[in-house]
Every structure is written in structure tokens, then in C-alpha cells.
């Protein structure tokens, strides 16, 4: 009897589902909603710092929208190029984290890093009426989380990932050890460097001239880096953990 073949792509169901939701949301906006309806949809779901300005304008949705837009913005994208780029990075970095965390922890981590990105954007853009959309803050959090274990001996490396579940259960590096690993330091240097270039306008997404919400990226990344052990189900990793060291497209910023 021939042994069953391994799947070419090692993509957890929750990652596939999230990507499907991102595509469906964009497809509905592009193909179903009128421009007027899309504008209203964005006001209810995009992240708008001016919502929280004392004495500022009153936006639709009230307290509910004030709360859910800290997460809902991450499911909206400013164009096909923006969606495609975020989908690729999400596939690469969220897949190994989903294999390690499981569905519920993965979902909670997504929400946490999205909220952290929105908070970072809010603090640096108080009163700004521009809309922020995009999953980049959460993706940045998954990058940071993957960094904590993917470089470990026996860990999952490569675009398609390992088929061995044990590769996703290796002991995670502590923060101190992470900052001593030249591969991780190089990764951090490149990542922060790219965000500086995005923030300065030297690099843009596609042909967009919209500003990149790089502060949201950093907020999500730091939440993923320092909050990793709170979500990590591999107890040995948490025990070794942090004690020894410590493009939202805006319609406009992009993440």
C-alpha cells in the first residue's frame, strides 16, 4: 500500500480561515458595496484616532464601534496589493505560531496584537481623522512570536514549514537569549529598518502614496515579542522564558 503523501503546504485551518475572511471582506467591498456604502462601512470598522479625542466629532457606532474598531480594522485592506502582501506575510509567520498555539490561543493572540497596534497608532496620532486599516500590526506580532522559537534547534524554518509537530513544540528562546542570537538580531535590524523606510516614505506599498502606519507595526511586534510567554502552551518555554532578560493602508495609513 502506498503511504499517503504529505501536503505541499502546511497551513493550519485557522490560518486558512483568517485568510478567507480577509479576502471575503475585500471582495464584498469591491464587488458588492456601492462607494457610499463602502464609506459608511469604513467609518464603522476602520480605526479612527479622532473617535477618541475629547470633545471631538461623534462617529457612528457609539461605544460599540469605539471598542470593536480596535480589532475590526485588521480585517480590512486598502487594495489588492495591500491585501496580497499582508496575506503572504501572514501565511509565512502565522502558520508556525498557529501550529504551536492552537486555535483559541491563536485567535486571542491575533486580537491582542491588533489592539496593541491600534493603541500605538492612537498614542502617536491623537485626533487624526484618517482611517487606519490592515492586518500588519497583528502580522508583526506573529513575526515576533515566530522569532522566539523558529530559530531554535529542531524548530520549523522555511516557507512551507516542517511536517513534524515536534518542531513547533521546541523550547522557546528567552528574551535575553534572543537578543544574543545574531540571526535574531539581524532579523530585528532588517525589520525595524524597513519600518523606518516605510515611515519616512522612502518605501511604499505598490503605487500607493498613502502613509504607512509603522507605529502600529511596532506596537503589534512588541506585544508579540514581550507577550509571547503569556500565550505559549509549551510550559518549558515559558519557564525558561523572560525572567532572565529582558502596511495598515490608511484609507488612509497602511498596515
Kindly list the structural domains of the chain, giving each domain's residue range(s) and its CATH number in brackets, ordered by start.
13-240 (1.20.1540.10)
pLDDT tens for 28-75 read 999 999 999 999 999 999 999 999 986 556 788 888 999 999 999 999
Inter-residue contact 116 to 141 (CB < 8 Å) = yes
Burial class (CB in 10 A: 0-12, 13-18, 19+), 74: buried
Strand partners, 250: 132
The number of residues making up the chain comes to: 255
Mean pLDDT of 152-172: 71
For 154, residues 6+ apart whose C-beta sits below 8 A from its C-beta are: 166, 167, 170
pLDDT tens for 5-21 read 444 457 899 999 999 99
pTM score, whole prediction:
0.83
Q: What percent of the chain has pLDDT over 70?
A: 79
Amino acid at each position: 500500500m502506498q503511504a499517503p503523501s504529505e501536503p505541499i503546504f502546511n497551513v493550519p485551518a485557522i490560518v486558512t480561515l483568517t485568510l478567507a475572511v480577509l479576502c471575503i471582506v475585500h471582495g464584498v467591498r469591491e464587488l458588492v458595496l456601492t462607494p457610499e456604502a463602502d464609506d459608511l462601512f469604513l467609518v464603522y470598522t476602520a480605526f479612527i484616532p479622532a473617535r477618541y479625542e475629547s470633545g471631538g466629532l461623534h462617529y457612528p457606532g457609539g461605544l460599540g464601534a469605539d471598542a470593536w474598531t480596535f480589532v475590526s480594522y485588521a480585517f480590512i485592506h486598502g487594495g489588492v496589493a495591500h491585501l496580497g502582501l499582508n496575506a503572504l506575510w501572514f501565511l509565512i509567520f502565522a502558520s508556525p505560531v498557529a501550529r504551536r498555539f492552537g486555535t483559541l490561543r491563536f485567535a486571542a493572540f491575533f486580537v491582542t496584537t491588533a489592539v496593541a497596534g491600534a493603541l500605538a497608532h492612537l498614542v502617536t496620532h491623537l485626533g487624526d481623522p484618517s482611517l487606519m486599516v490592515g492586518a500588519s500590526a497583528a502580522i508583526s506580532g506573529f513575526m515576533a512570536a515566530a522569532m522566539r522559537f523558529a530559530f531554535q534547534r529542531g524548530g520549523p524554518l522555511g516557507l512551507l514549514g516542517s511536517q513534524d509537530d515536534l518542531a513547533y513544540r521546541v523550547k522557546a528562546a528567552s528574551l535575553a537569549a534572543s537578543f544574543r542570537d545574531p540571526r535574531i538580531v539581524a532579523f530585528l535590524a532588517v525589520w525595524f529598518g524597513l519600518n523606518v523606510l516605510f515611515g519616512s516614505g522612502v518605501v511604499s506599498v505598490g503605487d500607493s502614496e498613502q502613509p504607512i502606519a509603522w507605529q502600529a507595526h511596532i506596537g503589534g511586534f512588541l506585544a508579540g515579542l514581550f507577550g509571547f510567554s503569556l500565550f505559549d502552551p509549551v510550559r518549558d518555554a515559558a519557564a525558561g522564558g523572560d525572567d532572565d532578560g529582558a502596511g495598515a493602508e490608511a484609507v488612509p495609513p497602511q498596515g
